[in-house]
Amino acid sequence: MSSSLAFAYDVNPARIVFGPGSAARLADELRAAGRQRALVLTTPFQKDAGQALAAGLGGLAAGVFAEAAMHTPVEVTERAVAAFASLGADCTVALGGGSTIGLGKAIAWRNDTMQFVVATTYAGSEVTPILGETMDGVKTTVRSSKILPEVVIYDPDLTLTLPVAMSVTSGLNAIAHAVEGLYARDRNPITGLMALEGIRALHSALPVIVRAPQDAEARGRALYGSWLCGTVLGTVGMALHHKLCHTLGGSFDMPHAETHAVLIPHTAAYNQGFARAELAPAAALFGGDLGAGLWDFARSLGAPLALRDLGLAEADLDRAADLAVKNPYWNPGPVERGAIRDLLAPAVAGQRPA
């Protein structure tokens, strides 16, 4: 790949409010934006937290809709849009991870309402103008400035309840955005800095979180890293790794963050042969070999290592490889069926990449 300096840089306009206790600033943020009736969105799992957040907002809350679900099903969105209208809401507050944020984006895609997000995982969706939604088992992706949340609050205190296993897979999901950002065709010097800083923050914070999940400083550093990695995802194009995760997620119903966590060592191992210079600073953090180093790191954190444990069998390898090479994303290395099958085989079995 060429390293000559020539680039275009689009900045996603969003207000970011970061810091312990910053969720308490939500009411001020709503008032500053002239909002009076927020519909609070969350999942059934975080319903109590959503209700507590709405209670704290008092008259600024129009109600709570706690039905957000993975992959943003359109039937849930339709119920939420109806609730938004019947409650007379004038904005949404998504409290949660990518599933809840996806619901807020899907509402805004339909009625262009203003979105506030209180992000509680490391997935990064809150800073991207991308919405993936599912209807009749088919997932479609749309990109629009209407979809980008306007205000994002990152309060590390709210991530103290994120279970360790989910913290690890979500953190590796964030690292995957940054790794692909480092070699993205449309990368620029700023996304390169953000990607590396994001990987560095998560690389140092995740082992602490595994040992001490209540360590507030490590929680803050991990959330800071996830903001940077998410911003990279929202700014530059993703490549083979994200294509494989979307294919496996959509066609084999595999879990989002876990699939990213298992695959990133293998896709990094493959692509480092074609983007060595771009990946070198990240590789240095992981002992010099990014693929093997990421696998060792994931194992040390207790992350899942085998796609077969997530539902992909050896017998699925041919179909998975066939699907992965259809409509490929741009990638630094060739996207050929045989090579992709060879990449996937050790990931299915849980072996360290060669």
Q: What is the DSSP string of 222-258?
A: HHHHHHHHHHHHHHS---HHHHHHHHHHHHH---HHH
Count CA within 13 A, CB hemisphere, residue 195: 27
Q: Toward ligand NAD, which CB reaches closer, 170 or 191?
A: 170
Which residues are paired to 139 by β-bridges? 134
- Binder among 118, 153, 162, 340 for ligand NAD (CB under 6 A): 162
Q: Toward ligand NAD, which CB reaches closer, 121 or 272?
A: 121
Q: Examine residue 62 and tell whether it contacts ligand NAD (CB under 6 A).
A: no
Q: Toward ligand NAD, which CB reaches closer, 17 or 339?
A: 17
Give the shortest CB-162-to-ligand NAD separation in angstroms.
4
Q: Examine residue 121 and tell whether it contacts ligand NAD (CB under 6 A).
A: yes
Backbone angles phi, psi at 65, to 5 degrees: -120, 110
Q: Examine residue 167 and tell whether it contacts ligand NAD (CB under 6 A).
A: no
Q: Toward ligand NAD, which CB reaches closer, 170 or 267?
A: 170
How far is residue 94's CA from residue 66's CA, in Å, rounded to a whole number? 10
- Binder among 22, 77, 125, 259 for ligand NAD (CB under 6 A): 125
- Binder among 77, 100, 226, 272 for ligand NAD (CB under 6 A): 100
**Pairing status of strand 130-135 against strand 138-143:** antiparallel
Q: Which of residues 228-247 bind ligand NAD (CB under 6 A)?
A: 233
Give the shortest CB-25-to-ligand NAD separation in angstroms.
18
Largest CA distance in the chain: 59
Both tokens of residue 221? Answer: 């550093």
Give the shortest CB-354-to-ligand NAD separation in angstroms.
29
Q: Examine residue 71 and tell whether it contacts ligand NAD (CB under 6 A).
A: yes
Q: Examine residue 115 and tell whether it contacts ligand NAD (CB under 6 A).
A: no
Q: Which of residues 204-233 bind ligand NAD (CB under 6 A)?
A: 233
- Binder among 256, 286, 320, 344 for ligand NAD (CB under 6 A): 256
Q: Toward ligand NAD, which CB reaches closer, 18 or 274?
A: 18
With residue 133 as reference, give the H or E element that holds it.
strand 130-135
Which residues are paired to 91 by β-bridges? 38, 114
Residue 114: Cβ within 10 Å count? 18
Both tokens of residue 105? Answer: 């984006």
How far is residue 57's CA from residue 319's CA, in Å, rounded to a whole number? 50
Q: Which residue is nearest to ligand NAD (CB)?
A: 98
Q: Examine residue 97 and tell whether it contacts ligand NAD (CB under 6 A).
A: yes
Q: Examine residue 330 and tell whether it contacts ligand NAD (CB under 6 A).
A: no
**Contacting residues for 343 by C-beta, under 8 A, at least 6 apart:** 266, 267, 269, 270
Q: Examine residue 267 and tell whether it contacts ligand NAD (CB under 6 A).
A: no
Tell me the window of 57-65, 115-123, 219-227, 315-323 that interacts with ligand NAD (CB under 6 A). Answer: 115-123
Q: Examine residue 346 and tell whether it contacts ligand NAD (CB under 6 A).
A: no
- Binder among 132, 192, 225, 265 for ligand NAD (CB under 6 A): 132
| Contact assessment for residue 75 and residue 106, using Cβ atoms and an 8 Å cutoff | no
Q: Examine residue 176 and tell whether it contacts ligand NAD (CB under 6 A).
A: no
Give the shortest CB-200-to-ligand NAD separation in angstroms.
20
Give the shortest CB-170-to-ligand NAD separation in angstroms.
5
**Pairing status of strand 91-96 against strand 38-41:** parallel
Segments in the chain forming alpha helices (H)? 26-32, 47-57, 74-86, 98-111, 164-183, 189-211, 216-235, 240-252, 256-271, 276-285, 290-300, 317-324, 337-349
Catalog residues that contact ligand NAD under the rule CB under 6 A: 43, 45-46, 70-71, 96-100, 102, 120-121, 123-125, 128, 130-132, 158-159, 161-162, 166, 170, 233, 256-257
